[in-house]
Amino acid sequence: MNEPRKLEVLRAIVEDYVHYREPVGSKALVERHRLGVSSATIRNDMAALEDDGLITAPHTSAGRVPTDKGYRVFVDHLAAVRPLSAAEKQAIQTLLGGADDLDDVLERTVRLLSQLTNQVAVVQYPQLGRAKVRHVEAVSMAPRQVLLVLIADTGTVEQRVHTVSEDVDRDRLAYLRQRFLEGLAGTAVGRLAAGAAEVVASLAPQDQRLGAELAHGLGTLAEASREDRMVMAGTAYLARSNSDFLQSISPVLEALEEQVVLLRLLSEMAADPRGVTVTIGRENPYVGLAETSVVATGYGQDDGPKLGILGPTRMDYPATMAAVRAVARYLSKIIAGS
């Protein structure tokens, strides 16, 4: 069999099935695509594709649909991830450009990515382990309560009200805050506790007790920043795709609720030379996601957090991969410049 034509027939089947949501027959392929061969030849090609496990008949009709293996071959033979249109790029810049802080940026990112792909979008929060301290703040809330704020160069903000053992006036608190800022600015968040201890050791004896309590509070913020978190949007799109699931959609929804499953899956997805990684159907190691595909990529620093989409295996892979990559690149620029 002609191998290039075989791939062309598979491509046509995938595209038609994604677009029309129904099994594809040889007659439809001849009418919709310029394959340059007869309907009989296409039927022979489809039989060969079925023998290879790339397409299957969902029932006794002449139509065929791609299998997970067929989608994998289709995705692997995409020459490149196509660029977004000018209008789509402008939409990304408009929606993400006006964000105020990291929380707002990530909330806008998942909403945008979900709207672009009509799928569930997920974004991991950056972890602060390798980030650097940009700013620390200490604000008196009550005689023995201090609001501590830690801001990293990734734009991540952690804050918490910390109780201290003595009353502290604003001038003294401002002095200690300045000492911590001078000692910690530019320090890796992963070694904040050690840096804060050095600041405490340099304080006058009368300030060391309060300084140690503030240092402990800052260390707690650094520890909290290492927890895996994510934000998600678009589950309504998944519900509308209920007919794409041969079994119940419930296992997928349960997996989405168990965010640790998605976080682990995103973390385990290996890098792809095209910058976007795709796992299809049973390639996903979690039973509840066996009828879904995940398209993801990293953003920010190397080996950093990931963003992506999750949806049924019947999806527009080229458009989805393009959207995921474009949004990730723009988000990386925002994080770097924040």
Output the pLDDT for position 295.
95
pLDDT in tens, 161-203: 999 999 888 899 999 999 999 999 998 888 888 999 999 999 9
Confidence of residue 1 (pLDDT cuts 50, 70, 90): very low
Q: Are 266 and 122 in contact (CB under 8 A)?
A: yes
How many whole angstroms separate alpha carbon 300 and alpha carbon 328?
A: 8
Whole-angstrom Cα distance, residue 284 to residue 294?
8
Average pLDDT of 219-242?
81
How do residues 99-150 score in pLDDT, each as one tens digit? 767 788 889 999 999 999 999 999 988 766 567 898 999 999 988 999 999 9
Q: What is the pLDDT of residues 77-107, one digit of tens each?
A: 886 677 788 888 888 888 787 776 778 888 9
Query: Cα-flanking dihedrals φ and ψ of residue 86, to 5°?
Result: -60, -40
Give the integer Cα–Cα distance in Å for 325 and 101.
22
Closest alpha carbon to 321 in 281, 279, 258: 279
pLDDT tens digits, one per residue of 41-63 = 999 999 999 999 999 988 766 68
Please report the pLDDT score of residue 60 as a whole number: 67
Q: 11-25, 65-79, 141-155, 164-178: which range is least confident on average? A: 141-155
In the chain, what are the helix, strand and coil shares in percent, each to the nearest 5? 50, 20, 30
User: pLDDT value at position 92?
Assistant: 84
CATH numbers and ranges of domains, the chain: 3-76 (1.10.10.10), 86-125+228-337 (3.30.450.40), 133-224 (3.30.390.60)
Q: Which of 8-22, 105-119, 150-164 has the lowest mean pLDDT?
A: 150-164
DSSP characters for 228-263?
--EEEE-HHHHHHTGGG-SS-SHHHHHHHHSHHHHH
Q: What is the mean pLDDT of residues 18-40?
A: 89
The larger pLDDT score, comparing residue 227 to residue 204, is at 204
